[in-house]
Amino acid sequence: MEEMTVQRVVCSRIPTRIGQFQLCLYTNTLDDKEHLALILGDVTEPADVLVRVHSECFTGDVLSSLRCDCGEQLENAMEAIAREGIGVIVYLRQEGRGIGLESKLQAYNLQDQGYDTVDANLALGHPVDPRDYTVAALILKDLGIHSVRLLTNNPEKIRFLEEIGIHVVDRIPSVPTVNSENANYLRTKALRMHHMLNVTGLIPFALDRKHGSD
């Protein structure tokens, strides 16, 4: 089997209200998508770099949808890296936990009928979470990063990166803002997908709605 590779194509300066980053675009031999690395500071020397591996979420990242915590996680990661003065966000183009935007919107409609996020994916014929983090690990290695402090609540992401040779020395939790639109979504993450979230704090919000979100 041919070894998967990534290629750094171009990097550009990206000034934001949070700080000045470098945005690097990568191609790869795994899929036909263009994945990204948002970099602050010189990450080639220090170990245990602060990193978030973030899956694309158009509704959350761009539209600030309240159905999920994705946009908030992205912004919080940028702010945490800016405070640190160094770090990387690997932005993977795997919309809707890897099922694509069309299926994600169809899943939203099922959730409005009473499905949670897991059952909505299954009803549409998709796996619960088909995301792959191989490209993320290869991008980190290309940047010279082999050990990270990972901003995540997802134990599968930690396991996946460790298996591909990225040592996760610490997990930095991402604490979501809970509202009536995302509470069942977050509760499903915790109870059915084993994300490291405080379920007790979600229950009062979740009881306000009888259907899932995002």
Task: State the catalytic residues.
Answer: 129, 131
Q: Which amino acid is at 176?
A: P
| Cα first-last separation, the chain | 36
Radius of gyration of the chain (CA): 17
The sign of the torsion formed by the CA atoms of 201, 66, 101, 82 equals negative
Distance CA 139, CA 116 (A): 33
Distance of CA 80 to the CA centre of its chain: 15
Residues present in the chain in total: 214
